[in-house]
Amino acid sequence: MQHSPAAERNRQPILEVLRTLLPATGRALEVASGTGQHVAWFAAALPGWTWQPSDAQAEALESITAWCAEAGVRNVHAPVMLDVLEPHWPSHGPGFNTPFDLIYCANMLHIAPWACCAGLMQGAARHLAPNGLLVTYGPYLEDGVPTAPGNRDFDASLHERNPAWGLRRLEDVAQVAAAAGLRLAARHAMPANNLLLAWARQPFPS
């Protein structure tokens, strides 16, 4: 079992916002599940939902399985490999046949190449139900909003580790989302200078 202190801290605040956004039942896909702490926590707290965890790293799948086993949840499918840059989700085996009511992705955009933002938005547009939501969580830069010193330092450290990484401008993410047919439907300020963003399909012209 891999362990993320940040995931342990933020899982309950995120859950509280998800409860305000989601109906009692539905199907969820988690992109970039990482350790598996989030999906195990959410599945236990939202028993009316079924969850499909995924990650691009094969070594994450065992940790996801272990966390879900420890939580004793039965509403979580076996994790699958999923690279958002690939046109076929998941990366191996048959594709997802039924749309998802929620696609959830935390703390991926800033530790992945910028192309992964378009991959996530385009994949979400393919696999979301008509009234479904894409929920992203993490630190962002925003025009007209002072960047917290901690986020500035974090952004600099990310660039040092990998020049392709870094905090993303919310306005840039929204532009990529719009190109995929998604719009920002809700913005929630979260602890530790993070944002939880809900993206929905663009309304059709009247």
Q: What is the DSSP string of 84-142?
A: TTSSSSSSSSSPP-S-EEEEEEES-GGGS-THHHHHHHHHHHHHEEEEEEEEEEE-EE-
Cα–Cα distance between 153 and 156 in angstroms, integer?
Answer: 5
Closest CA to 73 of 45, 97, 93: 45
Q: Looking at the chain, which residues constitute the CATH 3.40.50.150 domain(s)?
A: 1-8+28-98, 108-202
Question: Strand 194-201 vs strand 128-138: parallel, antiparallel, or unpaired?
Answer: antiparallel
For residue 20, CA distances in Å to 103, 139, 152, 174, 181 come to 16, 21, 30, 22, 23
Q: Are 186 and 197 in contact (CB under 8 A)?
A: yes
pTM, to two decimals: 0.96
Q: Dihedral through CA 39, CA 199, CA 130, CA 124, nearest 10?
A: -60
According to the 3-state scheme, what is the secondary structure of 31-98? ECCCCCHHHHHHHHHCCCEEEEEEECCHHHHHHHHHHHHHHCCCCECCCEECCCCCCCCCCCCCCCCC
Which residue is associated with the tokens 């801290």? 9
Nearest to 70 by CA among 109, 44, 100, 104: 44
Residue that has been written with the tokens 């539905």 in this structure? 26
Are the beta carbons of 54 and 88 closer than 8 angstroms? Answer: no
Quick one: 1-8+28-98 is in which CATH superfamily? Vaccinia Virus protein VP39 (3.40.50.150)
Q: 108-202 sits in which CATH class?
A: alpha beta
Query: Cα 199 from chain centroid?
Result: 11
**pLDDT on residue 203:** 61
Q: Which amino acid is at 48?
A: G
What is the SS3 assignment for 187? strand
Each of the 206 residues of the chain gets a pLDDT tens digit; together they read 999 999 999 999 999 999 999 999 999 999 999 999 999 999 999 999 999 999 999 999 999 999 999 999 999 999 999 999 999 999 988 899 999 999 999 999 999 999 999 999 999 999 999 999 999 999 999 999 999 999 999 999 999 999 999 999 999 999 999 999 999 999 999 999 999 999 999 664 44
CA dist list (Å): 55 to 42, 83, 90: 17, 7, 9
pLDDT of residue 93: 87
So what's the pLDDT on residue 202? 66
